[in-house]
């Protein structure tokens, strides 16, 4: 049993702590197993699946732009983005969204998961993570990278003139590609997040704000320190360009429009069971049938009343004269208007 199980759950009981210490999870009582499986198990499966899929997606979106660029640079191996900035993509600017999704996201509340145990089948059937879903995310990353690169390469072919008469260079174009990929990936994280908390706000809008603040500092300090000399004088060419700011908004919207429409279609015309439960949770739709927990409480009260009735009784002394008292409790005899015996 231990070798065949996927996850070990130990119960701390009279038998000792050896099983609990050897298990992956330890619970105090057997009744806690229900919440461990239906709630925490379901959350864990959904979070891990989404984090893995998103991690692949965000990397495909950026690095496929580098792949498309080889058709423009004559297969010379020239990078489209400065090397350190490329490293910061996963280390700084997009490190928080997968963590926040994988730790704090709750696609359905604990109350609803306990109320609808059928949702546990999502993990058993692999509805959130399978080969088909993985390749759909990968193809989506290819699709977004193609839109980003084709749109920007054509825009900068004719819109690379700056206000002072200068022309945006290769690295200005690369920073724009990088920013658009960053905004698109953050927008995708916002679309797939089921719950917005303060951590989600820090991870998604906060990551973009971090890039907007760090890039000017890095572009000024790094070349003077002898690193990233490609960024000499690039800041006014990037932040002073209307094309940069316009494309950073318009192209991510072009990429995510299909995702938004697909999400709308799935939830409106072809919803899964958990979509329906999410709708019930969102609009707080009350069920007409009584809940099983309420039914249990009612049965418990009825049984308690029956026990109390069985335990009630009267003890009378056998002393002469007590018979009249007993007769007063005789319900078979007719009584008068004020309850007196006839």
Q: Are the C-beta atoms of 254 and 147 separated by less than 8 Å?
A: yes
pTM of the predicted model over 0.75: yes
Q: What is the pLDDT of residues 122-138, one digit of tens each?
A: 988 999 999 999 999 99
Q: What is the pLDDT of residue 330?
A: 61
> Taking all residues of the chain, what is their mean pLDDT, rounded to a whole number?
86
Q: What is the pLDDT of residue 240?
A: 84
C-alpha span between 155 and 160 (Å, rounded): 8
Q: What is the pLDDT of residue 227?
A: 86
Going from N- to C-terminal start, the domains of the chain cover 1-30, 33-283
Q: Are the C-beta atoms of 191 and 256 separated by less than 8 Å?
A: yes
With H, G, I as helix, E, B as strand and everything else as coil, classify residue 26: strand
Ramachandran assignment for 339, one of left (phi > 0), alpha (psi -120 to 50 degrees), beta (any other): left
Residues of the chain with pLDDT under 70: 1-3, 14-16, 159-166, 287-295, 308-342
Q: What is the pLDDT of residue 47?
A: 95
Q: What is the pLDDT of residue 248?
A: 95
| Ordered alpha helix ranges (H), the chain | 18-22, 32-35, 42-69, 83-88, 96-104, 110-115, 121-125, 131-158, 170-192, 198-203, 205-224, 235-239, 242-268, 273-283, 292-311, 323-328
CA nearest 122: which of 50, 193, 195, 192? 50
Q: What is the pLDDT of residue 288?
A: 57
CA nearest 148: which of 140, 138, 136? 140
């Amino acid at each position: 049993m231990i070798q065949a199980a996927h996850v070990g759950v130990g119960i701390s009981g009279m038998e000792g702590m050896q099983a609990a210490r050897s298990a992956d999870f330890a619970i105090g009582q057997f009744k806690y197993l229900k919440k461990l499986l239906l709630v925490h198990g379901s959350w864990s499966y959904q979070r891990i699946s989404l984090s893995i899929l998103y991690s692949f997606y965000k990397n495909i979106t950026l690095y496929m732009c580098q792949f498309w660029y080889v058709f423009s640079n004559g297969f010379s191996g020239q990078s489209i983005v400065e090397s350190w900035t490329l490293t910061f993509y996963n280390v700084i600017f997009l490190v928080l969204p997968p963590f926040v999704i994988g730790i704090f996201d709750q696609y359905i509340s604990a109350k609803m998961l306990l109320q609808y145990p059928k949702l546990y089948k999502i993990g058993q059937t692999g509805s959130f993570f399978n080969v088909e879903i993985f390749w759909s995310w990968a193809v989506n990353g290819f699709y977004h990278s193609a839109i980003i690169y084709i749109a920007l390469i054509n825009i900068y072919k004719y819109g690379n003139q700056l206000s002072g008469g200068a022309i945006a260079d290769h690295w200005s174009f690369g920073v724009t590609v990088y920013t658009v990929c960053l905004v698109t990936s953050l927008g995708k994280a916002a679309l797939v997040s089921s719950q917005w908390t303060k951590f989600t706000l820090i991870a998604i809008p906060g990551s973009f704000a971090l890039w907007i603040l760090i890039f000017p500092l890095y572009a000024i300090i790094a070349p003077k320190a002898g690193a990233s000399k490609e960024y000499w004088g690039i800041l006014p060419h990037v932040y002073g360009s209307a094309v940069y700011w316009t494309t950073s908004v318009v192209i991510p919207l072009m990429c995510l429009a299909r995702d938004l429409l697909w999400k709308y279609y799935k939830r409106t015309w072809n919803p899964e069971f958990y979509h329906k439960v999410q709708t019930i949770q969102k609009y707080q739709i009350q069920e007409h049938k009584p809940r099983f927990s309420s039914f249990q409480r009612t049965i418990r009260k009825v049984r308690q009343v029956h026990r109390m009735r069985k335990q009630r009784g009267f003890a009378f002394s056998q002393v002469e004269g007590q018979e009249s008292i007993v007769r007063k409790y005789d319900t078979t005899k007719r009584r008068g208007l004020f309850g007196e015996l006839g």
